[in-house]
Amino acid sequence: MRRIRTEFPGRCGIVILLAFVICGSAPFWPNIAAGTTNPVRGDYSCQALRAMARVYMACGDYKKAQPLAERALDFARKTGVSDSELCLCLIDLGYLYKNQGKLADSEKMCEQGLKLQEKVYNKDHPYVAYTLRVLGSTYQDQAKYRRAQLVLDRALAIMKHNYMKDDPIIAPFQVDTAKLLVAQGNYAEAESCYLEAIELINKSYGPDHLYTAGVLAGVARLYALQGRYFEADVLINRALAMQEQIYGPEHHLLAPTWLTMTIICRAKSDYAQAGKLLNKALAAVQAKRGTDHPLTGKVLSMLGALYISQGRYQRAEQACTQAVKVLESSLGPDNDCTAMAFNNLASLYVQQSRYSQAQELCTRALKTLERIFDRNHPSVADVLETLADLHKRVGNVAKATELEQRVEKIRSRTQIAYEPVAKTIK
């Protein structure tokens, strides 16, 4: 085999890899153990390629990981490696493609790997559960929430069948379920699921572990979405401090944490800090994942919303338009993230008195959100608020009032009543 020239990341990368391996936060890591006792010819070469790819993936360097993972799969198919090794090549590549935003490719690899894995082991084997985690995450990014729910429920059932209910190995599956519930707007159930998982995580990994930090960041986002800004602020700062110790202060894997901090900053009316965080996230994500990655589109959409709140409409239009372009291209026009980008652009058009264009975008966004979720999802309320503002401006007060009442009913289902933000956040 031709020698592969590669550069491994330094000590930080190895520390991250070990952290992922130990805690299982990356869904495919536990499958390292899935190899056969007596590998056939070619297995070792595939394993070497995958090992190098996994180091890069652990550091979030997916561009360097891709050729290694793809060569591993190509080599596996050409040399007739064991089915267990071929499974791992498919699943690793599925995980890689998911993080690159290549969701159709990720789904294809995961489903092929899952089918073969069920043949090699059985449908209730823990390895299958880990693969279902990757597939569930891919479905969620594609806005296939019902499919995501089915596979995650199955994964959790498999783990509970094979392990005691208080075994820490189950915690990551509960965390994935909590993330899905947050996306679906089921905040109360999500919090219950998170708290149950955190109890297990603290017992096994401790409060200062990298995976613990990621889970705290997830809970912080949930609290921010509920308007529980003080609690969110405490948790997200704890998470950031732990993540920076491993990744450093400017790493692109911190972007989700910065985005949650942005929500809190906006609630405090600290627009300057919110802008700094969003621009830092945008630069980091574009540099590592590209200008056409879905996360780039999400950051641009949030940046556009911030500019609107500041009255910086020219900058807002640039950001919102680019966000729509990126998300339509990467996720498709019928994704909930794309729908929210439509809503942000519609909000801008309302401010600019471009009412017919705003109405068209809101209609598209509502149709998408109500199809994916239902009429009572929090994101539906966001679009209804834009429509209410539009109707106020054109003098249709009755319609605006009707929409505002509907928004209030949705908000009351998902948010907890707290003191005004100014008093809550110190």
Please state whether the predicted TM-score (pTM) of the whole model is above 0.85.
yes
Share of the chain above pLDDT 90, in %: 81
Q: What CA–CA distance (Å, rounded) separates 178 from 159?
A: 16
DSSP SS3 for 7: coil
Domain membership of residue 266 (yes or no) is: no
- The answer on pLDDT for 154 being more than 60 is yes
Average pLDDT for 378-384: 97
Is 320 within a domain?
no
DSSP codes of every residue in 177-220: HHHHHHHTT-HHHHHHHHHHHHHHHHHHT-TT-HHHHHHHHHHH
Model confidence over 254-272: pLDDT tens digits?
A: 999 999 999 999 999 999 9
CB 95 within 8 A of CB 57: yes
The reported pLDDT for the residue numbered 415 is 59
- Give domain status of residue 216, yes or no: no
Query: What pLDDT does 333 receive?
Result: 95
Q: Of the ranges 56-60, 135-139, 162-166, which is most confident?
A: 135-139
Domain-embedded: residue 116: yes
Inside any domain, residue 182: no
- Given this model, what pLDDT does residue 405 score? 96
Query: Is the confidence at residue 81, as pLDDT, over 50?
Result: yes
pLDDT at 199: 87
DSSP H helices in 268-335: 271-289, 294-309, 313-330
Angstrom distance (rounded) from CA 403 to CA 144: 28
CB-count exposure of residue 276 (10 Å: 0-12, 13-18, 19+): middle
pLDDT at 327 over 80: yes
Q: What percent of the chain has pLDDT over 70?
A: 87
Residue 382, domain member (yes or no): no
Query: CA-to-CA distance for 121 and 169, rounded, in angstroms?
Result: 19
**CATH code at position 65:** 1.25.40.10
Q: Has residue 50 been placed in a domain?
A: yes
pLDDT of residue 165: 85
pLDDT level of residue 208 (50, 70, 90 thresholds):
confident
Among 350, 344, 388, residue whose Cα is nearest residue 364: 344
Q: Residue 302: inside a domain, yes or no? A: no
Query: How does pLDDT run across 386-415, given as a tens digit for each residue?
Result: 999 999 999 999 999 999 999 999 998 775
Q: How many domains does the chain have?
A: 1
Q: pLDDT at residue 146 above 90?
A: yes
Q: Do residues 383 and 422 make contact, with C-beta atoms less than 8 angstroms apart?
A: no
Q: Give 202's pLDDT tier (boundaries 50, 70, 90).
A: confident
Q: Give the pLDDT of residue 19.
A: 40
**How far is residue 13's CA from residue 24's CA, in Å, rounded to a whole number?**
16
Domain range spanning residue 20?
Answer: 10-142
- Cβ atoms 320, 301 nearer than 8 A: yes
Residue 43 binned pLDDT confidence (cut-offs 50, 70, 90): low
Q: Do the beta carbons of residue 289 and residue 63 sit within 8 Å?
A: no
Three-state secondary structure call for residue 228: coil
Q: What is the pLDDT of residues 158-167, one digit of tens each?
A: 999 999 988 9
Residue 262: CA count within 13 A, CB half-sphere? 25
Q: Residue 41: what pLDDT?
A: 52
For 394-419, give one letter per residue: b (16+ CB within 10 A) or e: eeeeeebeebbebbeebeeebeeeee
- The CA–CA distances, whole Å, from 314 to 216, 262, 321, 352 equal 36, 21, 11, 10
Residue 413 has a pLDDT of 78
Residues counted in the chain: 426
Q: What is the pLDDT of residue 204?
A: 84
